[in-house]
Structure 1
Amino acid sequence: MTTLFVSHGAPTLAIEPGNTGEVLAEVAAALPRPDAILVVSAHWDTRVPTVSLANQPETIHDFAGFPPALYAKQYPAPGAPALAQQVAALLQAQDIAVQAHPQRGLDHGAWVPLMLMYPEADIPVTQLSIQSRSTPAEQFALGRALQGLHEQNVLILASGAITHNLSDFFTADRNAAPLPYVLPFADWMAERIQTQQWQHMFNYRAQCPQGMQAHPSEDHLMPLFVAAGSAIGEAIRFTPENTYGILAMDAYLWRT
């Protein structure tokens, strides 16, 4: 199995999938069917890495002010508590502290892309939290500890954003032209990923002129570092679209 990083965009992606939805569906169809999925979402942020032991994760609508149709969406996939325990063991083996949550459900960073990729909701899934207060290098090390999951036919789905500065949100037009920093940052990051310049990537705020503006807070980029650490092989970049002028919807699939 492999690692996939997705930019999950606004929650409305679930009802307005656009080109991003088409790309995610095509990627899922091209992959072997995973036995289970581990999601690393920007929307579960804890001080210590935490896995969910939920047998039947609830669909968490962790947003406000959106159309009623979005709140009606459900993703009733079975949980994967055995996978969660395996994740915990892998992290502990690398001296990474880890905790377990008995019933944490799927936030929209998880269920929105999963709904577009696997709409039948019949693959067991669990979540692992990110730590925005840590460093990119530490999140990369977290991913490294998870590499063995690929041999167990587990898909690692990291869900965040290549660009995420909501203070720059200026329009309700989904197809608005991107602000000047969006594409340069996405391209800068793509070069570092595809050439595996990890140290430059970790130091993106100092190395890239658009780094701070693209990510004034680091939570939505942390899943990318986990993905890069867990990945084996070369990265394939997908650039389906840019939304609302501020969100580059880039995705990366690593293939051996």
Structure 2
Amino acid sequence: MTQQPTLFISHGSPMMASEASDTSVFLSQLGEELTPPKAIVVFSAHFDLSTDIVITSGQHPETIHDFYGFPKALYSIQYKAPGAPLLAQEIASYFKKAGLNPTLDSTQGWDHGVWIPLKLMYPKANIPIVQISINSRLGTQQNYLYGQLVAALKHDNILIIGSGGISHNLKEVFNRKPTENRVAMVTSFTDWVHEKLINKDLDALLNYEEEAPFARFNHPTPEHFLPLIAALGSSDLSKVERLHSTVEREVLALDTYLFA
């Protein structure tokens, strides 16, 4: 049986869906290089809920254009990848066995943390997807557990993806008076994350808000970092590889990592 890795993808701006960039080219190539999975499970920064775990279970989820102020053409893009109701039920059973209370949602669509990278990686939209919500109010340990609960799926040719951003300070992206040393602050943070990942220092990563340099500058809120934590939970870290690293608009770091 084919075993898939786990990925963490910085999904960047929705404009990646219509404009070529270093990251969009990389993601297109990545989809061609990976062994085709039979299904994909995604933890997205944009499916951040304060309720109990929600798992998408619809057969034909809609494409959600959950962003504002972009060109009209972007809102017409559809990513019609199917859902996987049976897989969703299987995942729900894992959470129930752990004493959690998952909800199956047959109406939830694909947010842009899902369809932006997957449209580039798998443009045929023919691989079934299940999304699992994150919860930024519960911290790193709980979101790490969410990843652990689905880790076994990798052995059944199912690709697990955390979709967020290695740094994500949108206010600073649009700041008319850029913060002094902001480039250095992003570099310091992303270098720290890379070092801790390579050294498999899980304790430090789970405590990144206190230990990482300039953590609150790079992540004023945690929802774009937690998909990395969920991805770590689904891996035994026998392999850690940074596949891609670039920065857009000085502060939007777009690293992609592979874990096995």
- TM over 0.5: same fold? yes
Taking the aligned partners of 1:158 and 1:229, their CA distance within structure 2 comes to 10
Q: Contact conserved, 1:84 with 1:126, CA < 8 A, in 2?
A: yes
Matched to 1:99, the amino acid is T
For normalisation by structure 1, the TM-score amounts to 0.93
Matched to 1:11, the amino acid is P
**Counterpart of 2:40?**
37
- SS of corresponding position for 2:41: strand
Are 1:54 and 2:58 counterparts? yes
Taking the aligned partners of 2:44 and 2:82, their CA distance within structure 1 comes to 18
Are 1:235 and 2:229 counterparts? no
Q: Contact conserved, 1:171 with 1:245, CA < 8 A, in 2?
A: no
**Counterpart of 1:2?**
5
Q: Percent identity?
A: 39
Q: CA deviation at 1:208?
A: 1.7
Q: Contact conserved, 1:54 with 1:80, CA < 8 A, in 2?
A: yes
Matched to 1:33, the amino acid is P
Are 1:157 and 2:138 counterparts? no
Q: What per-residue deviation string (whole Å, max 9, x for no partner) do you get for residues 134-172 of structure 1?
A: 111111111111111012211111100110111212379
For structure 2, the 5+ residue unaligned runs are none
Are 1:143 and 2:147 counterparts? yes
Q: CA deviation at 1:73?
A: 0.9
Q: Contact conserved, 1:4 with 1:227, CA < 8 A, in 2?
A: yes
- SS of corresponding position for 1:253: strand
- SS of corresponding position for 1:129: coil
Taking the aligned partners of 1:73 and 1:171, their CA distance within structure 2 comes to 29
- SS of corresponding position for 1:138: helix
**Counterpart of 2:26?**
23
Counterpart pick for 1:92 among 92, 96, 118? 96
Change (3 A) 1:169 1:114: same
Matched to 1:134, the amino acid is L
Taking the aligned partners of 2:77 and 2:86, their CA distance within structure 1 comes to 26
Taking the aligned partners of 1:82 and 1:178, their CA distance within structure 2 comes to 46
Q: CA deviation at 1:178?
A: 6.6
Taking the aligned partners of 1:64 and 1:171, their CA distance within structure 2 comes to 17
For normalisation by structure 2, the TM-score amounts to 0.92
Aligned residues, how many?
251
Q: Contact conserved, 1:41 with 1:130, CA < 8 A, in 2?
A: yes
- SS of corresponding position for 1:92: helix
Q: Contact conserved, 1:241 with 1:250, CA < 8 A, in 2?
A: yes
Q: CA deviation at 1:224?
A: 0.5
**Counterpart of 1:66?**
70
Give matches, 1:165-176, under 5 Å: 165-170=169-174
Q: What per-residue deviation string (whole Å, max 9, x for no partner) do you get for residues 213-246 of structure 1?
A: 1111101111010000002331110334211222
Q: Contact conserved, 1:178 with 1:242, CA < 8 A, in 2?
A: no
Matched to 1:111, the amino acid is W
Taking the aligned partners of 1:51 and 1:220, their CA distance within structure 2 comes to 19
**Counterpart of 2:257?**
252
CA-atom RMSD in angstroms: 1.6
